[in-house]
Amino acid sequence: MSISSFHPPRRILMGPGPSDVSESVLAAMARPTVGHLDPSFITMMDEVKTLLQYVFQTKNELTFAVSAPGSAGMECCFANLVEPGDKVIVCQNGVFGGRMKENVERCGGVAVMVQDDWGQAVDPQKLEEALIQNPDAVLVAFVHAETSTGAQSDAKTLVELARKHGCLAIVDAVTSLAGTPLKVDEWQIDAIYSGSQKCLSSSPGLSPVSFSPRAAEKISKRQTKVQSWFLDLNLVMGYWGGEGKRAYHHTAPVNCLYGLHESLVIVQDEGLENAWERHQSNHLLLRQGLEQMGISFLVPEAYRLPQLNTVFIPEGVDDAAVRTQLLTDYNLEIGAGLGALAGKVWRIGLMGHASKQANIDYCLSSLKAVI
Ligand SMILES: *Cc1c(COP(=O)(O)O)cnc(C)c1O
């Protein structure tokens, strides 16, 4: 056998994630591996925590990166906050809300579903009705930025409703973090998870999370042990928390964390508000070009995510053939539709480092040539 080293092609990633990883993040990940309890590494972890508090806009002590992708951040929130018998109101308007239901039930909770059409935002009125009908509910969960459709929900209002009815709120911010306004403390979000590979433009494999003091209290008062050993926050915090006195829990993905650190430094240097504005103005540029080609959007303008543009595939155009040709002839990746939207839409991402004019021009000219 003589398999040689793997050299991936250089693609432009304009799908639903991962997004383009910048040269400086790739370079950071190629730096020497140190021990995960090395004092230099611990200093870096402290900086990652501070930078995450900045991008989440929170002072939450319990803020760190789960050593696994966004789905593990999701699981971490539910496994720690849902106890057997807990009633959780889950708002679903796409694929990822469905995974929340799955998580609640696997934790022994009871999910009460609030459904909205795919492509629409979560309707606050429906949530309020569900809260009134279920006064025993203890948690509300929803997706801020539904990557399956490109719809953005009003997180501030939804969390306000949860709070008004005595519930804690779990928010999926995998695609929203650093791409669209998100203010964890101001909006009083209790548990939130994201991913390293969307608008942070780091490599996949890490899930930034943050928990409010209220959430931490619910976790510390649990009657039952968190059924996942790996994700049990009481144990993980011995590693990520506590000033200097870190104990071994698991081996952190050292080089992956160098990448996350670098991507967070990039957001800090740009300024979070500037990053939000860049995503918005680039979305408008892409939209203009697509509309000139007669291509229209799935999501009503008021709820459109700037970092994930879901557009109808023009009549008579072969979905798979176009995406394959874009990838093979243009090294350009765009996303397919999921579930009921498969074959009907494309999902064009403008996330993080990929959200720039050169990519928009390239995407539009490649699409024109291929269609
Ligand atoms: C990508 C995504 C996830 C899952 O993240 P992974 O890193 O793929 O595990 C969860 N929720 C939303 C909204 C996403 O876009």
CATH of the domain at 317: 3.90.1150.10
Assigned domain for 7 exists? no
Q: Domain check: are 157 and 46 in the same one?
A: yes
Q: Which atom of ligand 1 is nearest to the CA of 204?
A: 7
Residue 302 per-residue DSSP state: G
The answer to which of 123-127, 150-154, 156-160, 220-224 has the lowest mean pLDDT is 220-224
**What total number of domains does the chain contain?**
2
Assigned domain for 261 exists? yes
141 CA distance to ligand 1 middle (Å): 15
Pick from 67, 71, 200 the residue to mutate for probing ligand 1's pocket: most ligand atoms within 8 Å of its CB: 71
Assigned domain for 190 exists? yes
Pick from 75, 77, 142, 147 the residue to mutate for probing ligand 1's pocket: most ligand atoms within 8 Å of its CB: 147
Assigned domain for 4 exists? no
Q: Domain check: are 313 and 226 in the same one?
A: no
179 CA distance to ligand 1 middle (Å): 14
Q: Which atom of ligand 1 is nearest to the CA of 175?
A: 15
177-to-30, 62, 138, 331, 343 alpha-carbon distances in Å: 25, 17, 25, 26, 28
Q: Domain check: are 211 and 180 in the same one?
A: yes
Of 267, 298, 324, which residue constitutes the final position of a domain?
267
Q: Domain check: are 331 and 260 in the same one?
A: no
Q: Are residues 363 and 326 in contact, defined by beta-carbon separation less than 8 angstroms?
A: no
Quick check: 93 pLDDT over 70?
yes
Binning pLDDT at 50, 70 and 90, where does residue 312 land? very high
Assigned domain for 6 exists? no
User: Whose C-alpha lies nearest to ligand 1, atom 6?
Assistant: 70
pLDDT at position 238 is: 73
Q: Domain check: are 107 and 133 in the same one?
A: yes
Q: Is 99 annotated as a binding residue?
A: no
Per the prediction, the chain carries an average pLDDT of: 96
Quick check: 244 pLDDT over 60?
no
Quick check: 245 pLDDT over 80?
no
Q: Domain check: are 119 and 208 in the same one?
A: yes
Q: Which atom of ligand 1 is nearest to the CA of 17?
A: 1
User: Whose C-alpha lies nearest to ligand 1, atom 3?
Assistant: 70
Q: Domain check: are 105 and 232 in the same one?
A: yes
Q: Which atom of ligand 1 is nearest to the CA of 69?
A: 7
pLDDT at position 236 is: 84
Assigned domain for 263 exists? yes
Q: Domain check: are 245 and 223 in the same one?
A: yes
E strand or H helix at 27, and its extent? helix 23-29
Count the Cβ atoms, other than its own, within 10 Å of residue 33. 10
Assigned domain for 158 exists? yes
pLDDT at position 243 is: 59
180 CA distance to ligand 1 middle (Å): 16
Rounded mean pLDDT of 49-59?
Answer: 98
User: Whose C-alpha lies nearest to ligand 1, atom 14?
Assistant: 174
Rounded mean pLDDT of 252-272?
Answer: 98
Say what percent of the chain tops pLDDT 90: 94
Q: Which atom of ligand 1 is nearest to the CA of 147?
A: 15
Q: Which atom of ligand 1 is nearest to the CA of 207?
A: 7
Region for 201 from its dihedrals, namely left if φ exceeds 0, alpha if ψ lies in -120 to 50, beta otherwise: left
Ligand 1 lining (C-beta closer than 6 Å): 17, 69-71, 74, 96, 143, 147, 172, 174-175, 195, 204
pLDDT at position 239 is: 76
Q: Domain check: are 326 and 193 in the same one?
A: no
- The pLDDT tens digits of the residues spanning 152-174 come to 999 999 999 999 999 999 999 99
Place of tokens 């740009």: 270
317 CA distance to ligand 1 middle (Å): 28
70 CA distance to ligand 1 middle (Å): 5
pLDDT at position 333 is: 98
22 CA distance to ligand 1 middle (Å): 20
Q: Domain check: are 245 and 333 in the same one?
A: no
Rounded mean pLDDT of 63-74?
Answer: 97
CATH of the domain at 197: 3.40.640.10
Show the tokens assigned to 208: 């930034």
Quick check: 130 pLDDT over 80?
yes
Assigned domain for 5 exists? no
Of 210, 245, 267, which residue constitutes the final position of a domain?
267
Collapse the DSSP code of 189 into the 3-class scheme (helix H, G, I; strand E, B; otherwise coil) and give the result.
coil
241 CA distance to ligand 1 middle (Å): 25
Q: Domain check: are 98 and 117 in the same one?
A: yes
Quick check: 242 pLDDT over 70?
no
Of 267, 285, 320, which residue constitutes the final position of a domain?
267
Rounded mean pLDDT of 82-104?
Answer: 97
Q: Are residues 120 and 148 in contact, defined by beta-carbon separation less than 8 angstroms?
A: no
Q: Domain check: are 277 and 365 in the same one?
A: yes
Rounded mean pLDDT of 144-148?
Answer: 98
Who contacts 38 (Cβ-Cβ below 8 Å, separation ≥6)? none
Range of the domain at 148: 23-267
Who contacts 279 (Cβ-Cβ below 8 Å, separation ≥6)? 179, 180, 199, 306, 307, 350, 351, 355
pLDDT at position 324 is: 98
pTM here is: 0.97
